[in-house]
């Protein structure tokens, strides 16, 4: 263990409350563009987010030993750069220029000709990036003595991050109240709080669901562009409104509105992906270009909310088999599935076909492809 890091020996890295608090602090530090110390086994690395750092932060991070610094990338970004790998990698970039590092980390590149090594020991950085709503791209180097002066860098262990992830399934009901909607007057909004960072999640209860039978349920991830502004690039707004109408027609049920913008990547990453789509990448390849898996959403919050509401059996309104599998693996019975459809437009046609062909969504993609001629 390196000098100054002995504190790691005197704390229980599996203590769930400490792990939760320390992981949340690490997430906050990264999001503010500050470096942290990551302990993995006997190694200790300094880590700085490319997505959040400013030029001065990068210069200080490199310091007087630039050759020690590597660029951590997820397996998805690495493969987009032509690197054959099944796990994350660390690149030798030969540059300390933030613009050039950013181009390598999330630009519309298809090749990286430099040296690289596997970096599976740093894989928990993917989780930290997801929790911080940052791209999974980090500068990494061995920790230095000045990183620890005056507690300059927060220290977190990969074991703590793994232990903290359990918190993503713990939610508490905070408040419920009637909120009549334009087309559905009998609605109650139930707010739950929990998970890491204590985010609020919403259950919209329509009518009086019969809990003795499979309850009509729609799990809807937030899409500010489609739900609020009516974006033509997706059908999310249509699915939200049509899902609520289907639930009302069934006599009552629940729509779970989850804070998972951009399939869990966050609003900024979603806009980056949109930019890449304008350059010709489809929705899945665009996400891979910036380091993400095809769908990074988690459904622990949905399961916790359903259980809190006393719902153990559902008629799930979805086109996504991943949602079905997530509920079933958590012990929620999915007795039936109902498709939720939106309007096919020239702008979202390719997006819908990609979801069907490449993401396995239960859509008739030949019909969608032919819809507009």
Q: Which whole number is the average pLDDT over 286-293?
A: 97
297 belongs to the catalytic site: yes
Q: Which whole number is the average pLDDT over 286-298?
A: 96
pLDDT at 10 over 70: no
More confident residue, 150 or 70: 70
Q: Which whole number is the average pLDDT over 196-202?
A: 92
pLDDT band at 227 (very low <50, low <70, confident <90, very high): very high
Q: Which whole number is the average pLDDT over 219-247?
A: 96
Whole-number pLDDT of residue 1: 38
Whole-number pLDDT of residue 65: 85
Whole-number pLDDT of residue 197: 84
The residues spanned by each domain of the chain are 6-165, 167-371
Tokens coding 47: 């880590």
Whole-number pLDDT of residue 6: 38
295 belongs to the catalytic site: yes
pLDDT at 83 over 90: yes
- Structure letter (DSSP) for residue 214: P
pLDDT at 168 over 50: yes
Lowest mean pLDDT among 95-104, 161-170, 274-283: 161-170
Whole-number pLDDT of residue 166: 86
Q: How much of the chain exceeds pLDDT 90, in percent? A: 83
pLDDT band at 365 (very low <50, low <70, confident <90, very high): confident
User: Among 67, 272, 295, 357, which one carries the catalytic annotation?
Assistant: 295
Whole-number pLDDT of residue 262: 96
Output the DSSP codes for 279-330: TT--HHHHHHHTT--S-----HHHHHHHHHTT--EEEEE-S-HHHHHHHHHT
Q: Which whole number is the average pLDDT over 199-226?
A: 97
Q: Which of the listed CATH numbers 3.60.20.10, 3.90.870.10, 3.40.390.10, 3.30.70.20 matches domain 6-165?
A: 3.90.870.10
Q: Which whole number is the average pLDDT over 266-281?
A: 96
Q: Tell me the C-alpha distance between 314 and 211, whole Å.
A: 9
Q: Tell me the C-alpha distance between 182 and 306, whole Å.
A: 25
Whole-number pLDDT of residue 3: 42
pLDDT for 38-74, tens place per residue?
Answer: 999 899 999 999 999 999 999 999 998 889 999 999 9
Domain 167-371 has CATH 3.40.50.10990: yes
pLDDT at 26 over 60: yes
Return all residues near 149 (Cβ < 8 A) that are at least 6 apart: none
Whole-number pLDDT of residue 111: 84
Whole-number pLDDT of residue 363: 87
Q: Which whole number is the average pLDDT over 291-312?
A: 97
- Indicate the average pLDDT of the chain: 92
Torsion of CA 248, 252, 253, 256, to 10 degrees: 50
How far does Cα 356 stand from its chain's mean position?
A: 21
Q: Which whole number is the average pLDDT over 188-214?
A: 95
More confident residue, 303 or 8: 303
User: Among 285, 297, 337, 364, which one carries the catalytic annotation?
Assistant: 297
Q: Which whole number is the average pLDDT over 286-311?
A: 97
Contact 352, 235 (CB under 8 A): yes
Whole-number pLDDT of residue 372: 64
Whole-number pLDDT of residue 12: 56
pLDDT for 100-120, tens place per residue?
Answer: 999 999 998 778 888 999 999
């Amino acid at each position: 263990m390196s000098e100054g890091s002995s504190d790691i020996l005197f704390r229980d890295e599996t203590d769930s409350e400490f792990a939760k608090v320390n992981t949340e602090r690490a997430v906050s530090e990264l999001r503010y563009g500050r470096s942290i110390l990551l302990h993995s086994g006997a190694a200790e690395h300094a880590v700085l987010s490319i997505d959040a750092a400013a030029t001065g932060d990068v210069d200080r991070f490199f310091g007087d030993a630039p050759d020690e610094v590597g660029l951590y990338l997820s397996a998805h970004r690495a493969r987009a750069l032509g690197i054959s790998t099944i796990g994350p990698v660390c690149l030798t970039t030969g540059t300390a220029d933030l613009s050039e590092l950013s181009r390598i980390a999330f630009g519309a590149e298809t090749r990286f000709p430099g040296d690289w090594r596997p970096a599976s020991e740093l894989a928990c950085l993917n989780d930290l990036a997801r929790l911080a709503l940052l791209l999974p791209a980090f500068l990494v180097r061995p920790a230095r003595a000045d990183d620890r002066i005056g507690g300059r860098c927060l220290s977190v262990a990969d074991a703590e991050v793994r232990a903290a992830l359990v918190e993503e399934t713990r939610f508490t009901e905070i408040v419920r109240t009637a909120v009549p909607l334009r087309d559905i007057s009998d609605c109650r909004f139930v707010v739950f709080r929990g998970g890491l960072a204590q985010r609020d999640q919403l259950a919209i209860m329509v009518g009086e669901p019969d809990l003795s039978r499979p309850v009509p349920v729609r799990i809807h991830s937030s899409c500010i562009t489609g739900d609020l502004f009516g974006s033509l690039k997706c059908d999310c707004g249509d699915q939200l409104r049509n899902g609520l109408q289907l639930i009302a027609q069934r006599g009552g049920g629940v729509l779970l509105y989850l804070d998972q913008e951009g399939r869990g990547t966050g609003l900024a990453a979603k806009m980056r992906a949109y930019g890449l789509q304008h350059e010709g990448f489809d929705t899945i390849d665009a996400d891979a270009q910036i380091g993400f898996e095809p769908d990074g959403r988690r459904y622990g919050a949905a399961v916790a909310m359903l259980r809190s509401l006393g719902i153990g059996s559902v008629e799930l309104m979805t086109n996504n088999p991943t949602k079905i599998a997530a509920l079933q693996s958590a012990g929620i019975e999915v007795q039936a599935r109902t498709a939720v459809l939106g309007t096919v437009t020239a702008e979202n046609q390719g997006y819908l076909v990609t979801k069907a062909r490449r993401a396995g969504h239960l859509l008739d993609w030949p019909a969608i492809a032919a819809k507009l001629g």
